Amino acid sequence: MSAGTDTSLAYRGRMRTRGLAETAAVLAEPARAAMCLALLDGRAWTVGELATAAGVAPSTASEHVSTLDGAGFVESLKQGRHRYVRIADAQVAALIERLAEHTDHRPAPAGLRASIRAKHLTAARTCYDHLAGRLGVAVRAGMVDHGLVDLSSGISLTSQGKSVLAELDVPLPLAGRRPLLRDCLDWTERTEHLGGGVPAALLDRALAAGWVRRGDGRAITVTPAAREPFAALGVDIDAQR
């Protein structure tokens, strides 16, 4: 290896180190971290709503949003006189979710309200734009057990899986940069749930059809209407309750 190559590699190494430190610094501020965790519900929030979630003044929240935007963590949308903010893409959401896993060593939440909220998040929640928690893990297990998802070579949707989703009116997204299916480690269950384009479409359909409802923050409430469609995916909703 030439001296020029050594110098080039060393330079790239220093740049990566600096870039990693700068990225980590974005989330090192508690208010910005709180905003990113709130945005993991997959929805667009106003700056005022993010200010409330982070416990800071709207002017301070606006500064934090600008920092997050500049770092590529979020994107801003204008609609009328309102400014909405959302996670930039699924890769950013996955990064935040992974980092959140490492906070699991903190003490258990104190108080009845915090305890109830934690239980709801464990039972069923969103992980950016797909289902997570025990429900999300059960969907993955059910689809694998019923031959809807094949794990023999990577992870893919079978022809039977496509048929079942079509019967449930879940549209299959076109293949693109985002994978149709990927494993996503669930930070409460410590095993995988399904991420990717197909689970995102499933959540959209479940919300539109009233199979599930959004609860507090990222929590998801399962309705009785979910019993039959989720059974087709290999999930016993009553057992989940």
- pLDDT tens digits along 156-184: 999 999 999 999 999 998 877 788 999 98
Of 26, 27, 40, the closest CA to residue 86 belongs to 40
What is the average per-residue pLDDT within 19-32? Answer: 83
Is residue 132 located within the same domain as residue 224? yes
- Report if residue 102 sits inside a domain: no
Is residue 34 located within the same domain as residue 123? no
- Report if residue 173 sits inside a domain: yes
Is residue 135 located within the same domain as residue 227? yes
- Report if residue 82 sits inside a domain: yes
* Of residues 150 and 21, more confidently modeled: 150
- Report if residue 96 sits inside a domain: no
How high is the pLDDT of residue 114?
44
Domain boundary among 88, 121, 146: 88
What is the average per-residue pLDDT within 130-139? Answer: 93
For the entire predicted model, the pTM comes to 0.68
Is residue 154 located within the same domain as residue 200? yes
What is the average per-residue pLDDT within 147-155? Answer: 94
What is the average per-residue pLDDT within 10-31? Answer: 75
Is residue 20 located within the same domain as residue 133? no
- Report if residue 208 sits inside a domain: yes
What is the average per-residue pLDDT within 117-145? Answer: 87
Alpha-carbon distance of 37 to 20, in angstroms, equals: 20
Of 165, 238, 160, the closest CA to residue 204 belongs to 165
Provide the residue range defining the domain that includes 29: 3-88
- Report if residue 93 sits inside a domain: no
Query: Into how many domains does the chain fold?
Result: 2
Domain boundary among 21, 55, 88: 88
- Report if residue 48 sits inside a domain: yes
- Identify the sign of the CA torsion 195, 197, 202, 204: positive
- Report if residue 94 sits inside a domain: no
Alpha-carbon distance of 207 to 239, in angstroms, equals: 21
Q: Which residues contact 68 (CB under 8 A, 6 or more apart)?
A: 26, 32, 35, 36, 74, 85
Q: Which residues contact 49 (CB under 8 A, 6 or more apart)?
A: 38
Is residue 118 located within the same domain as residue 236? yes
Asked if 200 contacts 194 with a C-beta cutoff of 8 angstroms, the reply is no
How high is the pLDDT of residue 113?
45
How high is the pLDDT of residue 24?
81
Is residue 124 located within the same domain as residue 236? yes
Is residue 32 located within the same domain as residue 130? no
168, 180, 206 from 41: Cα distances, Å: 23, 20, 15
CATH of the domain at 39: 1.10.10.10
Is residue 78 located within the same domain as residue 188? no
Is residue 122 located within the same domain as residue 233? yes
pLDDT exceeds 70 at position 217 = yes
For residue 108, the tally of other CB atoms under 10 A from its CB is: 7
Is residue 83 located within the same domain as residue 117? no
Percentage, residues of the chain above pLDDT 90 = 43
Alpha-carbon distance of 222 to 209, in angstroms, equals: 12
Is residue 33 located within the same domain as residue 121? no
Domain boundary among 24, 54, 88: 88
